[in-house]
Amino acid sequence: MEFKRPRLVAEIGCNHKGEMDTARDLIKIAGSYCKVDVVKFQKRNVKELLTEEQYNAPHPNPANAYGNSYGEHREFLELNLAQHQQLKKWCEEEGLIYSTSVWDLTSAKEIASLQPDMIKIPSACNIHYEMLNWLADHYHGEIHVSFGMTTQEEEKKIVKLFEKKNRNKDLVIYCCTSGYPISYDEVCLLEIKRLQQLYGNIVKEIGFSGHHLGTAIDISAYTLGATIIERHYTLDRTWKGTDHTASLEPDVLRKLKQDLDAAYQSLQYKEEEILAIEKVQRDKLKYRKR
């Protein structure tokens, strides 16, 4: 099995708290300190995404709310298209790939107009077939789709959609358990092998989107065949907001990147039966019959 160098995605999502200065800090630290490959945000048209009842309902966790209703909370955290254009520029200045998860058709069209290298479909929206069809027909970059809270029949239908449009080689599908955070027994890493067996020769790559604590699981995900590792990222896990507690702070994200690169370097066979570094030790230590 040939291993590709892993790509690490730092999902900022809405962890910028609706503040462009914070978003810029997150980008700069992700690039210059953590050395990740991709930074990802989120884009919603809140009125399109939520029903009136959902919009006006209280936030399920008031301590994390940025508005009087769930809709107002979501509006507060939204960045407009011009702001996303600026985010993309900042990413490029740091040598990072900019990406965004799109939650509705309007957002998909807006972000596609920026021509990013990749667009993500979150687990919550992966059966929004109108949006999937539009992206397959009009957007020519990589399309990443998370398979959290998704049946195997739904997975098959999603992959078939891209096959029919000859876009399957631009499709990246992610093993994912949708919970914030989740316990280790809920990660279910062997789903990566299942996706690899079913779709590894059909799609471009298999990814892993993790919502667990720590980073040991991510190295396992890579060695099982996930070539893109996505983790939520924040500057402070105590900040107000839903995703911060399931996010990695810069020191941990930096260590994850280093560990993924180390795993990549290690995953090879010996070029010769006894390596050069071993020969000196063999001469010194190897048992010799007296």
**CATH number of the domain to which 107 belongs:** 3.20.20.70
Q: Give residue 143's pLDDT.
A: 98
43-77 pLDDT per residue, tens: 999 999 999 999 999 998 888 899 999 999 999 99
What pTM, to 2 d.p., does this model score? 0.94
Q: Give residue 180's pLDDT.
A: 86
* Residue at 98 is within a domain: yes
* Residue at 1 is within a domain: no
Q: Can you give the C-alpha Rg of the chain in angstroms?
A: 21
* Residue at 240 is within a domain: yes
* Residue at 290 is within a domain: no
Domain that holds residue 98: 7-285
Q: Is the model's pLDDT at 3 over the cut of 90? A: no
* Residue at 250 is within a domain: yes
* Residue at 2 is within a domain: no
* Residue at 273 is within a domain: yes
Domains held by the chain: number: 1
Q: Is the model's pLDDT at 2 over the cut of 80? A: no
> Mean of the per-residue pLDDT values for the chain?
96
Q: Give residue 1's pLDDT.
A: 63
